[in-house]
Structure 1
Amino acid sequence: MAPSSGVAAFLAWPSTFLGPRHRWVSLVLGVAMQLCAGALYSVTAWGVPLRDRCGWNDGELTLAETVGTLGIYLALHNGLAVDKHGARVVVVAASAALFVGWHLLASVARERGSAWKATLALYLIGQGCISTFMGSLAPNVSNFDERDQGKAHGVLLAGFGGSAALFATAYRNAFGGGGGEEDEDDLPGFFAAAGWATATVTLLGAYACKDGTKRDGGDGGNDVREVEIGATDAREDEVAVDDDDDADDDDDDAIAAETSDGPLRASSLALLERFRDVLSSRLFWLVYAHLVVTLGVALLWVNQAGSFVDAVVGGDDGLATMTVLFSLGNVFGRIGAGAASDAAERAWRVPRAAFLSVGAGTMAAACAVFASSSAGGGGDGGGGRTARYLAALGVGLAEGCVMAAWTAIARRAFGANRFGALIAMYNSAIAIGSASFNGVASAATGGGGGGGGGVGAWRAVFWAAAVASAGAVFVGAVATREMRRLAETSFEYVSVK
């Protein structure tokens, strides 16, 4: 018993030592973990140099990048693990995946290896990223009241959005990623350093995380009891399973019990019924369709901006700067939209879903600017490089706005206690969008690299992305109307100390 007690005391030490400050320290560490979770987005800065170093074509690079992003967004098992085992266990596993994945990618760069080996490496990195994302977001937002959810989500997700800027800047400044043959030789060192940094930060975060809903149960976090929207009939079915003769008081007990238990603490049947309840909600599918388009387009830009610029200009022409601007846009979009959505709900009763339309409109405009940018640099008559810089900033702002909105919507509408599984379900939409848009890009351009012959095809791809994003504005408007309707009928929150 003594060794077990010693381990328990060691794991509980951050909460014991920090007391009420624990949730704030955990939040800071959560942001640091999010900075590691979005590292794969910096591929815009180093993807093309890696392709050139290893002698791949654009199709092979697209395959590796797409599988990497699928590693992030096909993650149901990751979400269920967060709900069942808590954040700490999942983040420890994420640390191992990040370390192995980045070092495997360093080996590919060092040995000028195959795209298939890089694909495996990027998949492992993607899995580590999404587990870190979930493992820092789910417990930390549970430590704050509902009225502050937008800000909590925004601040944490800003770390994820800023990750690409951090890693792209490190590649450019510390590892010589500014262009030229000599920069390619720094790729192995950059990838290895990324592996050590991300693994170390995530391990520290796993140790000091305040998992209010599952571990600590201290003063720092409030549990949230939801009367969930879009699942009224399903709620009655669940209560009937527990006790056919339930009265109103028993309904409350069932809701409280459901909130305290993770989905895998109940039977497999109960878990399947829970998924059925969520999937029967119109709001779920509206947000799902919106994410397929908007975040699919965002990942199209992340994966293909380098190839677009290579085709249009014939070189990298500021790719690292574009990545930084995209990432900074992400940061400001997430923080700004998170704070604005709190204010809009509280002061004007405008549902958070309205920010889905704002993000989609910004994405459409940014893709249109990007698609129409001229071949020259910033000094030419068309301002080609400047236009691409503005487009990168716009895509980042748009993605940040959508990200800050959908995570808070999902938690509020469908329950905090199954947040990991909900993230994973919605992430499948992002996976579909990424695979679809990047697949279309690869097919339309023939998997070819730069050169004038593919310029028209690349422009058409991003014009199509702009049109699709414009359509998502209307999907967001319908989701806003649906959320307002549900808010008037069955949307209620009670903070439980």
Structure 2
Amino acid sequence: MTVTSPWRHAASVAVGTLILFSVGSAYVISAWNNEMKDMLGMTQVEITAVGSCFTFGQFNLIWVGIFYDHFGARYSFLVSATFLATFYWTAAWLTTAPLAPHWMMAATFACIGFSHAFPTLSAIAATEGLYGDAHRGKIMGILAGSYSGGGAAFAYIYHAWFDPHVGDFFTFMGWELSVLCLLGAVFIQSSSHLDKPQSPTVDEETPLELKGKLEHNITLWPLLQTAQFWHLFVVVLVGVGSPLFVMNNLSFLVESNGGDAAHVPTLVQLFSLFNLVGRFAMGAISDAWLPTVPRTHFLTASVVLVGLVQLSFV
């Protein structure tokens, strides 16, 4: 019995949302990095290096994108399952080895971050276009919002069941994420595999002014030579990087201001929940205003808002 396309689409989005929800556990770093620092006798520089390597790995997406384009969603999720289990369990072992060089933990978290990048990009790339351009923003809002919601949920999970047993939390994450990625390999299939185009040419009804853009499939090196790419690169670097810097060092910000470290999980949950609402709302709003307001306007406004919020720390 063949699964109909609508059901396949729904299953892909549902599993992709669940995977993004779990990958959002990356936000929980502020809930456990202080415990790791004390447990292993790390300096502030060393524990900061762990967070920085984790973030660097997560956003080193270009290689994941190349792999996805060549091998597709299924193999990307299989690689995700293997990498996430291997490196999370390595990190769990390192928490029991205080004599191990501290740079090994930072290197392991660079690999964990890179492993996070596989399911993140694969789930988004495979599902964001399943329902067409008219609903692309809402699908992206669901996926990105679930990532943020996962941060809130896993902050609670860590605080309720694992605090201060960081190694046990890493073992749990290795199992949980690898199982979900295996589900992704089974259930998620990208739109390019579900709906093959009728013809390799652009449809005759496509407006003439769009045909040149649709026919031009730009490759990596020419893309890097376009101004549009670097404009978007800088915007994402600032708009995403600066909030993540605050998030990764939240526990130390609280500590330096004389706050109670017990409040850190709650702050992580608040950050994640408001991030969830903002992401989904922006997806729906940008869809509704797409005919009159380009998505780039919303992107610019969000970066300006991030800048204003950052000034509140001064």
TM over 0.5: yes
Per-residue CA deviation, residues 204-239 of structure 1 (Å, 9 max, x unaligned), is: 1111102221x33379xxx9969xxxxx9xx9xxxx
The Cα of 1:314 is off from its aligned counterpart by: 6.0
Q: Which amino acid letter does the alignment assign opposite residue 217 of structure 1?
A: D
Aligned to 2:206: none
User: Is it true that 1:99 corresponds to 2:42 in the alignment?
Assistant: no
Kept after mapping to 1: 8 A contact 2:151/2:272: yes
Q: CA–CA distance in 2 between the matches of 1:146 and 1:92?
A: 28
Alignment of 1:345-494 (within 5 A): 345-346=290-291, 349-369=292-312, 371=313, 463=314
Identical amino acids, percent of aligned pairs: 23
Structure 2 CA distance for aligned equivalents of residues 174 and 353 of structure 1 = 42
Match of 1:63 in 2: 49
Q: Which protein, 1 or 2, shows the higher relative CO under an 8 Å CA cutoff with sep ≥ 6? A: 2
User: What is the match of residue 69 of structure 2?
Assistant: 83
1:18 deviation in Å? 5.1
Cα contact 1:100–1:124 (8 A) shared by 2: no
Deviation at 1:200, TM superposition (A): 0.5
Structure 1 residue aligned with 2:60:
74
Note if contact 2:74-2:189 (Cα within 8 Å) is conserved in structure 1. Answer: no
Q: Distance in 1 between matches of 2:130 and 2:262?
A: 44
Structure 2 Cα separation of the partners of residues 290 and 331 of structure 1: 20
Structure 2: distance between partners of 1:136 and 1:328: 21
| Structure 2 CA distance for partners of 1:78 and 1:290, relative to 1, 3 Å | same
Distance 2:62 2:226 in 1: 19
Provide structure 1 residue ranges, at least 5 long, that are not aligned to the other structure. Answer: 1-12, 178-183, 227-231, 236-247, 260-272, 372-462, 464-497
Match of 1:322 among 254, 267, 283: 267
One-letter code of the match for 2:171?
A
Q: How far off is 1:363 after superposition?
A: 1.8
Q: How far apart in 2 are the matches of 1:314 and 1:328?
A: 21
* Aligned residues of 2:73 and 2:189 also touching (Cα < 8 A): no
3-state SS of paired residue (2:3): helix
Within the candidate set 155, 169, 175, 2:142 is matched to 155
8 Å Cα contact 1:58/1:307 also seen in 2: no
Change (3 A) 1:301 1:19: same
Q: Which amino acid is the alignment partner of residue 46 of structure 2?
A: E
- Is the 8 Å Cα contact of residues 44 and 302 (structure 1) preserved in structure 2? yes
Q: 1:93, CA displacement in angstroms? A: 0.4
Letter in 2 for 1:74: N
**Aligned residue for 1:454?**
none
Contact 2:5–2:194 under 8 Å retained in 1:
no
Aligned length: 306
State the 1:135 CA deviation: 0.9
Question: 2:172 matched to 1:193?
Answer: yes
> What is the deviation of 1:44?
1.1
**Could you say which residue in structure 1 is the equivalent of 2:195?**
217
Contact 1:37 1:128 in 2 (8 A): no
CA distance in 1, matches of 2:259, 2:127: 45
Matches within 5 A, 1:142-291: 142-175=129-162, 177=163, 184=164, 186-213=165-192, 215-217=193-195, 255=215, 274-291=219-236
Letter in 1 for 2:42: W
Give the letter aligned to residue 355 of structure 1: F
Give the TM-score, by structure 1 length.
Answer: 0.57
Per-residue CA distance 1:105-159 (angstroms, 9 max, x = gap): 1112233354222112212211111110111011111211111111111111112
Q: How much does 1:288 deviate?
A: 1.6
Q: Which has the larger radius of gyration?
A: 1
Q: Which residue in 1 is equivalent to 2:279?
A: 334
| Aligned counterparts of 2:305 and 2:262: Cα–Cα separation in 1 | 24
Render the CA deviation track for 1:40-89: whole Å, top value 9, x for unaligned: 22101111111111110110011111111111112322110111111110
Per the normalisation by structure 2, the TM-score is: 0.89
What secondary structure sits across from 1:142 in the alignment?
A: coil
User: In 2, Cα distance between the equivalents of 1:278 and 1:218?
Assistant: 25
Q: State the one-letter code of the partner of 1:364.
A: G
Per-residue CA deviation, residues 290-343 of structure 1 (Å, 9 max, x unaligned), is 122121201211222221211121651411111111111221111000001111
The corresponding residue for 1:138 is 125
Where in structure 2 are the equivalents of 1:21-60 lying within 5 Å?
21-60=7-46
Change in 2 beyond 3 A, CA 1:317/1:20:
closer
- In 2, the alpha carbon distance for the partners of 1:39 and 1:168 equals 7
Superposition RMSD on alpha carbons, in Å? 2.7
CA change 1:18–1:200 in 2 (3 A) is farther
Shift in Å, 1:19: 4.4
Quick one: which amino acid aligns to residue 46 of structure 1? Answer: W
Distance 1:18 1:118, change over 3 A: farther
Q: Distance in 2 between matches of 1:17 and 1:136?
A: 20
The residue identity in structure 2 corresponding to 1:343 is A
Deviation larger for 134-143 or 350-359 = 350-359
Q: Is the 8 A contact 1:36 1:129 kept in 2?
A: no
Residue identity opposite 2:71 in structure 1: H
Which stretch has the larger CA shift, 336-345 or 314-323?
A: 314-323
**Match of 1:356, as an amino acid?**
L
2:284 corresponds to 1:298: no
Change in Cα spacing, 1:224 to 1:157, as seen in structure 2 (3 Å) is: farther
